[in-house]
Structure 1
Amino acid sequence: MMLRPLLLSASLAALAGCATVPPPEPVPVAPVAEAPATPAATAASEHERLFNLFKRSDEESLKRNPLNAIFRGDLRYADRFGDNISDAYYAGERAAAEADLAELATVNRDVLNDTDKLAYDVFEYSTRDTLRGLQPDLLALTAPRPMNHFFGFHTFYPTFASGQGAAPFKTVADYDNNLKRHREFAVYLDRAVERFREGAASGVVETKMTVRNMIEQLDTQVKQPVAESTYYGPIKAFPDTVPAADRARLTAEYRAVIADQLYPALTRLRDYLKADYLPKARDGFGIMYMTGGDKLYRYLVQSTTTLPLTPEEIHQTGLDEVARITAEMEKVKTAVGFKGTLGQFFNHLRTDPKYKTKTREALTQRYYDIGKIVDAKLPAYFSTMPRAKLEIRPYPEFREKFEAGGSYEQGSPDGSRPGVFYFNAYDLPSRTSPGITTLYLHEGSPGHHFQISLAQENEALPPFMRYGGNTAYVEGWALYAETLGYEMGVFEDPIQRFGTLSDEMLRAMRLVVDTGIHSKGWTREQAIEYMLSHSDMGKTDATAEVERYIAIPSQALAYKTGALTIQRLRKKAEAELGEKFDIRDFHAQVLMTGALPLAILEKKIDTWIAAKK
């Protein structure tokens, strides 16, 4: 899973999944006067107009969404948290998308070179989907749910501002800017309460399970003594560049803003959720049980996958993939000489102490060791390596209980801040080791770290292609990257090979379970049992996965959908190019123009194949 900066608001990002897809129904755009005929238009002049549009659009977006700028190392707006939640904010985002599409329509696409046409198409695709998500009918289903236990500023922001996240703490100004953001964050939390009130009145509500989890998350934060709070982290690690004369003032101000503004706002949110919202939250786990849920889920499926798929089609694909992978698992079970059933083999892997890791430190070292082995093999598969380094860390303990097994947080474009692969060390007795090689390939190299870093380090791309993305491509690439382990020889150990089949099974089960919950009415317990009976997952992991799907409908569909597309395109290229096929060249074609919607990626690969022929 990729931890990206929160694009727009938490609710809108959950809605759109940072995705780019043609709208399922027409999106109204302000009428545009037809551009005057420009017979003298050239590729160069239209390129300049196109990239001026990209630059202007990006600059205006950074002003509206200042945290995104900080992730890039751009500190011009670092004294702002941003609005992210008000009606005025959504109206501004909608107006910006309409203006961008109107200006794009005046650019003569026909005279652009192939690379610029690609940029044109991706920008149009992305902006139209953003605009669709901002239409009143969908916004009414997302804005009143500003956060849940898996996605929201209430868990993102503490890490961001901890001194261990993207926010810098090198100067006095950095510390003062963080104080200003804290005050705006407290305002955001109170506005979130008002959004939840709107949803409670309209029937657009979260599940009781999700609300209970949020209450526990907030409770954990406010119970920390101020001096042990994540928000207090920067005070514990003043750099030499902060003079001693400023340290006493900053220490006092941080204590005051945490105790007098952040904790009270977090407490108000917790108390509202506990006393008022929880009784009104829905019992049904699927979004189908929420007012407007069926409509929203069908949109989300297409937006997340970037393909015109239905929940029914995806459910069947999942069932087919589960059957195929089960047959491969049977082969491994036979190869290791296990005499029982596959279900008994799952239980053996869950319970045998030799598949457990006893300490966080030991698990960290195992990931370090895997990283060294994989990194030595990468030059044979990739012509360009990221400048940004990759760090390996366990999740901070305050957030690990509700996190996935692992995730990636991007570094800075200039390589000065490393990318981070987080792994989960919560409840180690329930976690097993067969899948750790696969997890590194997915979250680290050559998965998210390569894809995200190579895009944002490519200064020839317009900003929205360097920093934007869609879940199907981003997670599809990371799942495809896992399969490279076979060629690299890192799955020669049959248990690690079974581990990668287990991870592939997880992504296949997601197609079944996500659609089962949100379009077929599956219960939480039913979904957990399905995952336990078809894999060697421990119950803690299966529970966290299912609760994630409940919280963010459709996001889990992207992985397998994207990977199947990239795998199919590679097979197509290998078949058509024969000896001319170069794996390094293929990977460059997939990676070096950012996260493309899958239909646009396929068109690009087809063009490349034709040129190579």
Structure 2
Amino acid sequence: MKKGMLSIFAFLLLLTSCKQETPKEAKIISENSAFNQLLKEYNKGKLKLNPISATFAGDNRFNDQFPNTLSDEYQQKTKDFYTVYKAKLTNFKDNSLTEGQQMSKAVLDWDCEMALAQNSFKNDVLLPINQMWTINLTIGQLASGSSAQPFKTVKDYENWLSRLDKYNVWLQFAKKRMQQGIKEGYVLPKSLTKKIIPQFKTLATVHQSSEGILDFSTHLFYSPINNFPDSFSSEEKNKLTANYTAILNDKLVPSFKELHLFLKSDYLNAGLLESGITAVPQGKAYYQHAIKNYTTTNMTADEIHTLGLSEVERILSEMEKVKTEVGFKGSLKDFFNFVRENKELMPYKTPKEILANFNAIHEKMKPQLEKLFGNKPKTPFVVKQTEKFREASASAEYNPGSLDGTRPGVFYTPIPDATKYNVFSDEALFLHEAIPGHHYQISLTQESKVLPDFRKTLWYSAYGEGWALYTENLGKELGLYTDPYQYFGMLGMEMHRAIRLVVDTGIHAKGWSREKAIQYSLENEAEGEASIISEIERYMANPGQALSYKIGQLKIRELRAKSKKHLGEKFDIREFHNQVLETGCIPLALLENKINNWIASVK
């Protein structure tokens, strides 16, 4: 292009950029700005309402806070917050918002709707403690000093003391709410209470010296004192040690003892013999809400149960093929027992060896990641053994890094006994919990330069767990599953999620007992009995959550197949994964709409 033409083109661009905005354009810009401000206010308010979530997100403004979430005042405050923001959304018309803002509007509306629905039930208030999911276990993680609560400065230690003081109020109130729950019919099944009792016994136990002097040094909540930063002066250490000892001796341990006594007596005696949530008031309505909340769909329990039965049969046929491949003679159930008990699949003696194996899996697949993913997170990642205090009831899990990337994402794996640790599903487990499962999905969301802050900490299980389960099927594309037992492990984990569709709905909608659910699982998967019992009791404690994995996975697989069919040679797997991941957690209907729009734009 000639120089003169370049000058004219530049001049025209200047004229275009300098032209005055029309009133309509100015109104749109103004509304866009107002909407962005609304999102910022919502995020700030939500973190203030949920300070523990703020701490896990790396927002340290509320590290000394622990609201009494069980109080009527807090419940009303929560209801008012979401009601106000749901109403504010009606002030913004979609045609005044950008495409990204329209997505944020839909997500925020869903977030408010689900929170208000949850708030309308009494379950969170009258069933405040269970063996696996509740705040007492989260606080234990924070207390260990190796989680999200920072312990780098004296102020950090003082913040934690203040938070513990407020947590003690919550503990006292939890007992009152559980007593109220007994009167109103909101009580846990006996089998779950029996799992909580040892947890509180541990927290209530303080070792004594031979002279009868209490020694708090081995107590979980004393961990920060055992790990003072070197920069602290002797005076600071002595003062903090005295304060931590005092709060344990005068408040927390007495509260733990009181709850332990209550749980093993009055609460256990009142415990339900039924396994499902329908045994408590409004249980049927609550379960339908839980299905919608966790799957982000309007599916019914019957539809999900039927889907689960179909998936179980499909995966069983794939398992038969692996059994034949390895030359095993006997039934599939016999093969399950063989895999569970095969000492060759329990090669390790120490937890360190198990953690090293996960890191080796990462190294093995690294060269193939480029073929499937164009975007990779910058947030660091580590593998750790689950803390001892919660290891007995825990399953493998991923804890996100901080929003600023300074705290790494952590893949926790429970190792109660390294010599009995079976490795047959380790490759699939790493894909799911770590890379490219939860670590990629959550870290890329947190690192996004486009998403508003409130969407960086959202969690919709159907999307998040659906993605992680979907990634388990990427093993062969990533150079894994060359060992038939590891491939069987992947099938086993997928079967585990398919079984959840059957037993979760069975327990909570079809009157299944805990024992029937355990037996069904034992007959259709290779998990050990102790693990299966823990899982069934998990579903009992948190109705509907276990449904989200398979529902989300099947939707993402469906969208991948649809994209490949419609785009043909134009289909790019890296771009498909980017399209799925760049939105952060969203309801499945919004994800499907996004992929449909992408297909239309590429064709």
The TM tier, using the shorter chain, reads over 0.9
Alignment counterpart, residue 57 of structure 1, candidates 36, 42, 64: 42
TM-score scaled to structure 1, two decimals? Answer: 0.91
Structure 1: runs of 5 or more not aligned: 1-37
Deviates more, 1:429-438 or 1:204-213: 429-438
Tell me how far apart the structure 2 counterparts of residues 430 and 343 of structure 1 sit (CA, whole Å): 20
- Residue among 184, 189, 199 paired with 1:202: 184
Distance 2:32 2:366 in 1: 38
1:19-69 C-alpha deviation (Å, 9 max, x unpaired): xxxxxxxxxxxxxxxxxxx95664432221111111111112222222222
For the residue of structure 1 that corresponds to 2:389, the secondary structure is coil
Q: What per-residue deviation string (whole Å, max 9, x for no partner) do you get for residues 245-296 of structure 1? A: 2011111111111122111111111222222222112111111222221121
Q: Which amino acid aligns with 2:380?
A: K
Using structure 2 for the length normalisation, give the TM-score. 0.93
3-state secondary structure, aligned to 2:323: helix
Question: How far has the Cα of 1:73 moved from its partner?
Answer: 2.1
Q: Name the structure 2 match of 1:525.
A: 515
Encode CA deviations 1:528-582: one digit per residue, 9 max, x unaligned: 1111111111112111111111111111000000000000001101111111111
- Measured after TM superposition, the shift of residue 222 of structure 1 is 1.8
Shift of 1:521: 1.6
Determine the structure 1 residue equivalent to 2:385: 394
Q: Provide the identity percentage.
A: 40
Whole-angstrom distance in 1 between the partners of 2:169 and 2:200 = 16
C-alpha distance in 2 between matches for 1:288 and 1:428: 39
Deviation at 1:224, TM superposition (A): 4.5
SS in 1 for 2:246: helix
Q: Confirm or deny that 1:550 pairs with 2:540.
A: yes
Query: Are residues 1:88 and 2:70 paired?
Result: no
Contact conserved, 2:364 with 2:479, CA < 8 A, in 1?
no
Q: Which amino acid aligns with 2:156?
A: D
Q: Offset of 1:153 from its aligned partner?
A: 1.6
The Cα shift of 1:488 comes to: 1.2
> 2: CA distance between counterparts of 1:523 and 1:457?
44
Q: Which moved more, 1:369-378 or 1:560-569?
A: 369-378
1:176 aligns with 2:141: no
Q: Which residue of 474, 489, 493 corresponds with 1:484? A: 474
Contact 2:68–2:170 (Cα < 8 Å) also in 1: yes
Contact 1:282 1:290 in 2 (8 A): no
**1:337 pairs with 327, 331, 336, which one?**
327
Equivalent position to 1:577, from 553, 567, 576: 567
Q: Go from structure 1 to structure 2 and tell me whether the alpha carbon gap of 1:409 and 1:457 turns closer, same or farther (over 3 Å shift).
A: same
Number of residues of Structure 1 aligned to a counterpart in Structure 2: 572
Q: Offset of 1:429 from its aligned partner?
A: 5.5
CA contact (8 A) 1:430 1:540 kept: no
Equivalent-residue separation in structure 2 for 1:325 and 1:606 (angstroms): 29
2:25 and 2:360 map into 1 onto residues whose CA distance is 59
Q: 1:48 aligns with which of 33, 37, 53?
A: 33
**Any stretches of 5+ residues in structure 2 without a counterpart?**
1-22, 208-215
The whole-number CA distance in structure 1 between the counterparts of 2:419 and 2:72 is: 46
In structure 2, what is the equivalent of residue 16 of structure 1?
none
Q: Please, which of 585, 589, 598 is the counterpart of residue 588 of structure 2?
A: 598
The alpha carbon displacement at 1:413 in A equals 1.3
Return the offset for 1:445: 0.7
Equivalent in the alignment of 2:373: 382
| TM superposition shift of 1:428 | 4.5
Task: Measure the CA separation in 2 of the matches of 1:538 and 1:100.
Answer: 47
2: CA distance, partners of 1:187 / 1:609: 53
| Matching residue's letter, 2:180 | E
- Whether the 8 Å CA contact 1:227–1:255 is kept in 2: the answer is no
More displaced stretch, 53-62 vs 74-83: 74-83
Residue matched to 1:438:
428
Q: SS of the counterpart of 2:61?
A: coil
**How many Å separate the matches in 2 of 1:378 and 1:460?**
24
- Map of 2:5 onto structure 1: none
Which structure has the larger Rg?
Answer: 2
Q: Tell me whether 1:121 sits opposite 2:106 in the alignment.
A: yes
Distance in 2 of aligned mates of 1:103 and 1:234: 43
Pick from 155, 158, 176 the counterpart of residue 140 of structure 2.
Answer: 158
SS of 1:399's partner is helix
One-letter amino acid of the counterpart of residue 462, structure 1: P
Question: 1:43–1:113: 8 Å Cα contact kept in structure 2?
Answer: no
- Aligned counterpart, 1:66: 51
| 1:150 partner amino acid | M
* Secondary structure, counterpart of 1:392 in structure 2: strand
Structure of higher RCO (CA pairs closer than 8 Å, 6+ residues apart): 1
Specify the alignment match of 1:466 in structure 2. 456
Aligned to 1:220: 202
Q: Deviations over 1:269-324 (max 9, x none)?
A: 12222222221121111112222211211111111101011111101100000000
For 1:285, what is the secondary structure of its paired residue?
A: coil
Change (3 A) 1:296 1:41: farther
- Return closer, same or farther for 1:272/1:86 CA change in 2, 3 Å cut-off: same
Whether contact under 8 Å (2:350, 2:419) holds in the other structure is no
1:315-334 paired onto structure 2 within 5 Å: 315-334=305-324
Q: Which amino acid aligns with 2:143?
A: A
Letter of the 2:278 counterpart:
M
Distance in 2, matches of 1:526 and 1:358, equals 35
Residues 101 and 381 of structure 1: CA distance in aligned 2, closer, same or farther (over 3 Å): same
Displacement after TM superposition at 1:191 (Å): 0.8
One-letter amino acid of the structure 1 residue matched with residue 171 of structure 2: L
1:111 pairs with 96, 108, 111, which one? 96
Distance in 1 (CA, whole Å) between partners of 2:200 and 2:288 is 31
What one-letter code is carried by the residue in structure 1 that aligns with 2:169?
Answer: V
